[in-house]
Amino acid sequence: MTESKNSMGHLAALVTILIWGTTFISTKILLVDFQPIEILFFRFLMGFLALLIVCPRRMKGTTGRQEALFASAGLCGICLYYLLENIALTYTMASNVGVIISIAPFFTAIFTHVFMKEDEKLGANFFVGFAVAMIGICLISFNGSKMQLNPIGDLLAVGAAVVWACYSVLTRKISEFGYNTIQTTRRVFAYGILFMIPVLFWSDFRLGLERFTKPLYLFNIIYLGLGASALCFVTWNVAVKILGAVKTSIYIYLVPVITVATSALILHEKITVMSGVGTILALLGLFLSEHKCMYYSEEGF
């Protein structure tokens, strides 16, 4: 892999995480008048339409196995992940969910090692970096408060981390098909939206498009739909294609760091000593896990 292509993969992952780390503000604003499933449906429908406009060409020649992988990715990364995360938040503390979901890179590493034939063997640096980052994320998330365990909510959060790891591995497999990344992302979105539809009937979903006449709501759904969905899922898939599922997923460690920084800049929340130390540890964990010794080479560790 050339150095420039490798750098492009890291840049794509970083851009993705920078945007995903700020989406909590938009979601928080929309939750005043929107249900979580409504936000989810509108943002991915908008993302799908945006990708269709950017690349209207149909993806031809897919096999049944390929379609099954597209459907699985849509179920995991678009539908189940967000539903499990949102439901978990109704049972347990947001800090619990933030910490638990941050273990997704660990599951990604395990699934990649078991199911992928490519050489992404894990070295000691990955596990050391994971441990350091998790300590930092815990400091950021709890920041002096006690961790209150709730079996249902915490297990749902673990489930969200697992399905995201599945999504990362599935997108790695999909990248090997050789199709355009925008086309494959659009196909995954389509399946994700289809899997969402039964949930819409089960919930108290309402179209309520008049709510978007408020500029604040319109701006934030556009940010989620075009930025956090259409753009970020494409850049994430590009990163996975270039770097692999494991190295890309490690960037998830940065989400709490971005959240702390955004809270300070936009919501004017104070950065405490504990959250500052946690931020440093999360960054150190990312550095250790991304170090070139993370993987075994042919010559040895």
- 114: Cβ–Cβ under 8 A, 6 or more apart, which residues? none
The mean pLDDT value for 120-130 works out to 75
The pLDDT > 90 percentage for the chain reads 37
Band of residue 293 on the pLDDT scale cut at 50, 70, 90: very low
Q: What one-letter code names the amino acid at 297?
A: S
| Helix H or strand E encompassing 108 | helix 104-115
In this predicted model, what pLDDT tens digit does every residue of 62-113 receive, in sequence order? 899 999 999 999 999 999 998 888 888 778 766 667 777 888 888 888 888 7
Mean pLDDT of the chain: 84
The encoded tokens of residue 142 equal: 């709890």
pLDDT at 75: 96
pLDDT at 2: 73
Residue 24, exposed/middle/buried by CB under 10 A (0-12, 13-18, 19+)?
middle
Confirm if 186 and 8 have CB atoms less than 8 A apart.
no
The encoded tokens of residue 104 equal: 């997704």
pLDDT at 165: 92
pLDDT at 196: 94
CB < 8 Å & 24+ apart, contacts of 112-118: 112/168, 112/169, 112/172, 112/244, 112/245, 112/246, 115/169, 116/169, 116/172, 116/173, 116/245, 118/244
DSSP 188: H
pTM, full prediction: 0.82
Confirm if 289 and 125 have CB atoms less than 8 A apart.
yes
pLDDT at 48: 97
Of 40-54, 146-160, 172-186, give the lowest mean pLDDT range.
146-160
In this predicted model, what pLDDT tens digit does every residue of 240-266 receive, in sequence order? 999 888 889 888 888 878 877 777 777
Cα distance from N-terminal residue to C-terminal residue, the chain: 19
Is 70 exceeded by the pLDDT of residue 291?
no
Residue in this structure with the two tokens 């899922």, named with its chain if needed: 233
In this predicted model, what pLDDT tens digit does every residue of 145-175 receive, in sequence order? 555 666 788 888 889 989 999 999 999 999 9
Band of residue 269 on the pLDDT scale cut at 50, 70, 90: low
The mean pLDDT value for 271-295 works out to 73
pLDDT at 86: 80
Of 139-148, 215-224, 232-241, 243-252, give the lowest mean pLDDT range.
139-148
Cα distance between residue 121 and residue 109, in whole Å:
9
Higher pLDDT, 281 or 182: 182
Cα distance between residue 129 and residue 135, in whole Å:
10
Cα distance between residue 21 and residue 259, in whole Å:
5
